[in-house]
Structure 1
Amino acid sequence: MVGIVIVSHSRRLAEGIVELVTQMTQGKCNIAIAGGIDDEQYPIGTDSIRVMSAIEEVHDESGVLVLMDLGSALLSTEVAIELLPPEVAGTVQLCSAPIVEGAMAAAVAAAANLPIDIVKAEAMGALAGKQSHLGEEPDPVSVATPVPAVDDAEVLSTTWVVQNPHGIHARPGALIVTTMAAIDATIELERQSERANAKSLNAIAKLNVQCGDEICLYASGVEADLAVAEFIRLANSHFGESIEHDASPMNETSSPSIAPPQDKVEGALSGLAVCAGIVTGPVVHFDAVMPAVPERSFESTKVENARLDNAIQKVTEQLVQQASDTELTLGKEHAEIFKAHMLMLDDPELLADVRLRIGQHMIAEQAWLDTTTAMAEQYRSLESAYMREREADVKDIARQVMLQLCGNGQGGRIELTQPSVLLAKDLLPSDTAQLDPEKVLAICLSGGGKTSHSSILARAMGIPAIIRVENCLELVEPGQVVTVDGFSGLLWLTPTEDKQQELDDRRQTWLDQANHQLLAAQEPAITTDGHRFNIMANIGGLEDVSAALDAGAEGVGLLRTEFMFQSHAELPSEDEQYTVYRDIAAALGGLPLTIRSLDVGGDKPLLSYPMIEEDNPFLGLRGVRLCLADDKLFKDQLKAVLRAAAEYTNIQLMIPMIALPSELRAVKALISICREELDLPEEEYPLAVGIMIEVPAAVFNADELALEADFFSIGTNDLTQYVMAADRGNPAVAELVDYKQPAVINAITMTCNAGKKANIPVGMCGEMAGDNEMTELLLRLGVTKLSASASMIPALKAKVRRINYHESRENFQVQPA
């Protein structure tokens, strides 16, 4: 397979490209990066030795294609090739294609095992696709692209009636784009005789496809049949969304946290409540100003395009970092906001329109501003309220690129010197993501929308917020002390003395309730008749420990070790893993830490560990099967765990995807070998070794497995999908992926019975563990420990405290399995 190397001044940018490539090819591409330099203060640059090492990492007889960003990247690569042995250097080709689009196209071709000349041609085709728009599109802000002039016999098509509640908005649109972008065909979507490029997120959005609309996909070219087949697959899954119920925070039909508009109230301005809370503080005004277009002369098409490319590259780096930071602090769902912004920024029609204006001798700043202003206006005119609110996303990427073009990349940041109430016309997602909840007491906007990404982020950050407060910017002076009522959607300016006392009392009640819940979360979960159950946290790294302990976690029931392996070009060493496990164990202060060994494969590919292509990876080499197939990979992790456990006795090890007793015995044998090599005898340094129960074979073998394992932990997410033979990622079979199904309950019952018989504890760390509607049933069945996300722990503990365990067990009859 042709190897691909990404040479970039920024390691983060290179890693972001590899992440996109991995998602596009499902981990099937052999790719390496040479990004940045080893200088903590000035990490931007390129290094010939890194380039050489990256080429050697992915090299085989098929050759290596190298894509570079700007300036010294090319020079560093040329030097690296001179350092390589001639037999290797002769197989390397350099490619001038745009680094992001070129990498995506090249990766798809390489993953298909095409020769290097075709892989390079595909990469160059990514640039040609943009160039084809220049001069051929008569209207630079056209909503749709005309269908290619081909014979009807050469065009394949299929139709679909959209059932998604919000129609084809950003998320399903992004899924269509990322799927179709990998297919060698001209592909268009049609709604009501209007057509759009199916490889353009904004073009699809401008079609304004609503729930109930019929859309038609047209495809022509080499892989037209694949385009149609893939579209049918996506449509049958409703483009990655469930249509039964929309529980997302973007549901525009109902939202219990958002109060309706209030009538005029004396002493207050009325708006919409977005996030609950009552706070009082001084006002700070903020305005996300769009930089003015500079007064300068047009230089040349080449220079202006280079300015644009450089600005977009810098903003892309910022978005990659914002997505990473947001995922760590607020979760993956909220990080998707910035990944969607990356797609918008990389939209082929958007960039083609800008380049067309530049081709007409317009400076880059004016071309970018005119194009994005027109695009924002098109969003604003759409029928759907949800889609209209995407105008803010267009403005966000527009402003960020303008700041870079105008040489003010760090401008527009919100910096507060004291805790304040932030007043603005609107906040863009990038503004909201960088807010400090310790300094921003509340948010009050004269505009905004309840499904805007800024509102979603504010709710996720727990900042009291109200929107659509009429005239607040005109009537409220900077520094003026106001009270924001996030329950009622009111901004109080001149409350009476009685009203202010009422607001103060309500605020205190709100704070007391929050404090009481937090204090109660630190208390043990003991039933009314005195039985204690451990409630623990699922975490993904050291940064999650503090939040887990604050939420009342009595330890960690699941440490997902994949976080050290994913999104990195190299596997973590034994020493690196040991340090992480040791630090987490220390941070827990003696509370239990259950480390799950590497669980990848299926839907969890690794950048640093290419895996063989499998027809059904969920039933293939994943979890313990993969680890046992690679002693070096597994031993590094086992040794790291043993070393950490020798220092911290609160550590135990859990093995995923066990189906057979022989697999567990093989793991224990390998642990014994590691002990000998480390000189850590079991009698002096014991380590409990348990297993995940997540495949039906483990349930049926539970009696025998219980004789080998020190504990069980039921992983209900995988167990449910395997018991029901239904992919948990496929909305078309969502009704089957339900842990309340009798078959799943019976599997849990059999597991608990086996654990009780062998006198080993049975925990649960899947989604079901966090569902307090199921807590009493699980305790009845014999589950002794629950491990869930930190945010769910207070409610779980409160639920346990209301249960009479003895009475529940007596009144419960286990159904025969």
Structure 2
Amino acid sequence: MDKFTGKSVFKGVAMGNVVVLDKKDKPVVREKITDTDSEVARVDVAVAEGIKQLGVLYDKALKEVGEASAAIFEAHQMMIEDMDYNDSIKNIIRTENVNAEFAVAVAGDNFAEMFAAMDDDYMRARAADIRDVSNRLINILQGNEVVDFSSMEPSVIIADDLTPSETVQMDKEKILAFVTVHGSTNSHTAILARMMNIPALVSVDMDLSKIKNGTLAVVDGIKGEVTFDPSAEMQCEVKKQIQKQKEQAELLNQLKGKENVTKSGKKINIYANIGAVSDVALVLENDASGIGLFRSEFLYLGREDFPSEEEQFRAYKQVAQNMADKKVIIRTLDIGADKKVDYFNLGEEDNPALGYRAIRICLKQPDIFKTQLRALLRAAVYGNISIMYPMIISVDEVKQIKKIVKEVADELTSLGIDFRIPEQGIMIETPASVIMSEELAHEVDFFSIGTNDLTQYTLAIDRQNSKLDDFYDSHHPAVLRMIKMATDNAHKAGIWCGICGELGADTELTEEFVKMGLDELSVSPSMVLKLRKIVREMD
């Protein structure tokens, strides 16, 4: 029995067999080969396996995110079968007497460079696809294990670290918990874990090479511990804890259909945060009053090219229709900082949290912004959609946004396309926006306070840096005063104000937030009923 401690992300308990995600790719080494026919045969086997893997990914994407998003895997299947590509690999093997892995790497580089040099934008974008296909073949040839989450039994995920795009693509029903060697409790990945309602630990000092797939593990998010090969006595105790968690969840279910209102009659909206269309099921299951934050950037993550207007339109429309007349607040693109997307070509920054991100990208690259806005305005016809703009620091930015929205509306009008300009608000997540909140409130329909970044910028602490977790104090008086200031200025101008950051789910502050006069708290779906219970018991 081996026990390791870490920092808890979600306070729950889980037990199951582990799946180790070892992302340390082996280097591709050039080897002299005498039996070239055997290497060519290895390529044929790898291609067949690659087609099979991509077929599984296509079926999963088709079910969860629709045909447009799934099409990329269909395109990769065509590429991996391409005769010219395959002939090039086999020719390199035969003429240079090299191993299959090296031949695939060379052919992949050659084809990617060829596509990158083309004049057509679409063909240039295919360079990334070729590299992705080649990497898949190399991993198969090297025997690197690829986890198939669709066929995996419910498991505890063990990894060095997880990116937001990796986490969001996981099958939530197949993950009991996750444990990572690195990562911060305030990272976006940690936020996603809380949204998925799974016990999780980060900053666990363990050697992944010594952990075998299939090992039984207990993840205790309450104590901040993970135990491998637990004793029979511990297994019995953990089963009792898990049963108790289920019973507590059943008690909370009795609050479904009840109002979020205090004993004295004060009402507060409790909405849910989501990152994908499929998460709407969690919102409805937990009886949230609406969606206070739909992270639209997850339509951009885990892919090789920008989502089209039609693809975005279908996603926003589906969420709006599924939520009927309930409010759906969609945040515009918030790429940057820890959410990196290669095809944006943002480059490396010394301090990405203070860099080129969110609304700054949208205002500097309006074509990307307009595509999303067209999709949002069209989808607003089908439900109660609101639009929210992140990382605002000035009134001038809001005026620029309004100008672009008008241009988009004029374009849609000229094309005879149905649309609606919905309620528009901004995220209050910088000290500048708090200080300017009195002026900003006259330009928008609502405020939504992003407490994660607001805390980071107010305290001058990088929330991605695990060394600073002990200094990161979301209860700091300065942070709470800023929340109160923004709320007061919103109400003074006659608009509503809510919180969509992690602090909204902090049950130690729920009563304080109601006293402040906040109109809405948007939290992970799993926290909706817990907050409802607290609100209904308040005097």
Which bin holds the TM-score, normalised by the shorter protein? 0.5 to 0.7
Aligned residue among 381, 387, 403 for 1:669: 403
Distance 1:626 1:561 in 2: 14
SS at match of 1:773: coil
Aligned residue among 366, 381, 384 for 1:631: 366
Structure 2: which 5+ runs fail to align? 1-27, 29-42, 55-71, 87-98, 121-130, 158-165, 184-203
After superposition, the Cα gap between the structure-2 partners of 1:759 and 1:752, relative to the gap in structure 1 and judged at 3 Å, is: same
Residue 601 of structure 1 aligns with which residue? 336
Describe how 1:386-401 pairs up with structure 2 within 5 A.
391=210, 393-394=211-212, 396=213
Aligned residue among 163, 172, 185 for 1:329: 172
Describe how 1:365-404 pairs up with structure 2 within 5 A.
391=210, 393-394=211-212, 396=213
- Contact kept? 2:219, 2:225, Cα under 8 Å: no
The answer to which structure, 1 or 2, has the higher relative contact order (CA under 8 A, 6+ apart) is: 2
Q: Which of 1 and 2 has greater Rg?
A: 1
Shift of 1:517: 1.3
SS at match of 2:339: coil
Distance 1:761 1:457 in 2: 41
Distance 1:488 1:84 in 2: 55
- Contact kept? 2:269, 2:289, Cα under 8 Å: yes
Distance 2:398 2:322 in 1: 30
Aligned residue among 681, 701, 705 for 2:440: 705
Shift of 1:643: 0.5
- Contact kept? 2:329, 2:387, Cα under 8 Å: yes
Deviation by residue 1:556-598 (Cα, 9 ceiling, x = unmatched): 1000011111121101111111111111111112211000000
- Contact kept? 2:271, 2:292, Cα under 8 Å: yes
Residue 768 of structure 1 aligns with which residue? 503
Describe how 1:296-315 pairs up with structure 2 within 5 A.
310=141, 312-313=143-144, 315=145
Question: Given residue 366 of structure 2, which amino acid in structure 1 is its aligned partner?
Answer: D
Distance 1:308 1:669 in 2: 48
Shift of 1:334: 4.4
Distance 2:402 2:341 in 1: 25
Distance 1:631 1:763 in 2: 28
Are 1:45 and 2:91 matched, yes or no? no
Describe how 1:536-547 pairs up with structure 2 within 5 A.
536-547=271-282
SS at match of 2:143: helix
After superposition, the Cα gap between the structure-2 partners of 1:596 and 1:321, relative to the gap in structure 1 and judged at 3 Å, is: farther
Identity, in percent, stands at 30
Distance 1:564 1:550 in 2: 23
Are 1:795 and 2:530 matched, yes or no? yes
Aligned residue among 549, 563, 569 for 2:304: 569
Distance 1:762 1:682 in 2: 32
Residue 143 of structure 1 aligns with which residue? none
Residue 450 of structure 1 aligns with which residue? 218
Distance 1:308 1:539 in 2: 32
TM superposition score normalised by structure 1: 0.44
Deviation by residue 1:588-623 (Cα, 9 ceiling, x = unmatched): 122110000001122222122111443332222211
Distance 1:620 1:389 in 2: 33
Residue 92 of structure 2 aligns with which residue? none
Residue 297 of structure 1 aligns with which residue? none
Question: Given residue 172 of structure 2, which amino acid in structure 1 is its aligned partner?
Answer: T
- Contact kept? 1:721, 1:728, Cα under 8 Å: yes
- Contact kept? 1:48, 1:77, Cα under 8 Å: no
Are 1:643 and 2:388 matched, yes or no? no
Residue 809 of structure 1 aligns with which residue? none
- Contact kept? 2:381, 2:418, Cα under 8 Å: no
SS at match of 1:679: helix
SS at match of 1:708: coil
Distance 1:75 1:616 in 2: 36
SS at match of 2:254: helix
Are 1:678 and 2:412 matched, yes or no? yes
Question: Given residue 146 of structure 2, which amino acid in structure 1 is its aligned partner?
Answer: T
After superposition, the Cα gap between the structure-2 partners of 1:701 and 1:452, relative to the gap in structure 1 and judged at 3 Å, is: closer
Describe how 1:503-582 pairs up with structure 2 within 5 A.
514-582=249-317
Shift of 1:44: 8.5
Residue 743 of structure 1 aligns with which residue? 478
Q: Number of aligned pairs?
A: 418
Aligned residue among 146, 158, 165 for 1:316: 146
SS at match of 2:342: coil
Aligned residue among 198, 210, 231 for 1:468: 231
Shift of 1:532: 1.7
- Contact kept? 1:675, 1:682, Cα under 8 Å: no
Distance 2:108 2:347 in 1: 32
Deviation by residue 1:751-792 (Cα, 9 ceiling, x = unmatched): 011011011000101111001110111111121100011111
Residue 348 of structure 1 aligns with which residue? none
Distance 1:666 1:332 in 2: 43
Distance 1:692 1:570 in 2: 27
TM superposition score normalised by structure 2: 0.65
Distance 1:49 1:759 in 2: 64
After superposition, the Cα gap between the structure-2 partners of 1:390 and 1:75, relative to the gap in structure 1 and judged at 3 Å, is: closer
- Contact kept? 1:540, 1:559, Cα under 8 Å: yes
Shift of 1:539: 0.3
Question: Given residue 487 of structure 1, which amino acid in structure 2 is its aligned partner?
Answer: K
Residue 391 of structure 2 aligns with which residue? 657
Residue 60 of structure 1 aligns with which residue? none
Distance 1:591 1:87 in 2: 46
Residue 240 of structure 2 aligns with which residue? 487
Question: Given residue 316 of structure 1, which amino acid in structure 2 is its aligned partner?
Answer: V
Question: Given residue 576 of structure 1, which amino acid in structure 2 is its aligned partner?
Answer: E
Shift of 1:720: 0.6
Deviation by residue 1:525-549 (Cα, 9 ceiling, x = unmatched): 1100112211011100111111122
Residue 407 of structure 1 aligns with which residue? none
